[in-house]
A = this chain, B = another copy of it.
Amino acid sequence: MDANKNNSSKRTIAYVEEVYRQIQQKPDIADIMILNSKGNPIKTTMEKSEAIQFAGLYESLRDKATMGLQKIDPTDEITMLRIRTTKNESLIVPDGKITVVVIQNAKDLYCK
């Protein structure tokens, strides 16, 4: 996500809108969700109640992974969590104070 390259940029509404816009242009995207620092969905393609359910799950996974890793190796840092299920794949990207979640129609692509 180009908007993400400059890690010091503030996660303003304009920044969130740009990240959202860029993801929308990618193929095979089933849903998009952007969470604020409290784990609440601030922009999503999902229906509200569904978004809140998933947001709770993703935020807790992000926290558990981040804190767990901190204890084991404080010099390392989570850049992405991917949850592959029989139906799809969720990508969870911590991005400063926001968390970007993309749910895509999973295809197992093997590079030849």
Residue numbers of A with Cβ under 8 A of B are 50, 53-54, 56-57, 60-61, 64-65, 68-69, 71-73, 75-87, 109, 111
Contacts and interface: CB of A to CB of B under 8 A. Distances in A.
Given A61-B64, A64-B61, A81-B82, A72 B53 contact: yes
Nearest to A78: B85
- The dominant DSSP class at the A interface is mixed
Contacts of A72: 50, 53-54, 57
Contacts of A81: 81-84
A52 to B, nearest CB: 10
Contact of A76 (B73, B82, B86): B86
Nearest 5 Cβ contacts at the A-B interface: A57-B68, A82-B82, A80-B84, A111-B111, A76-B87
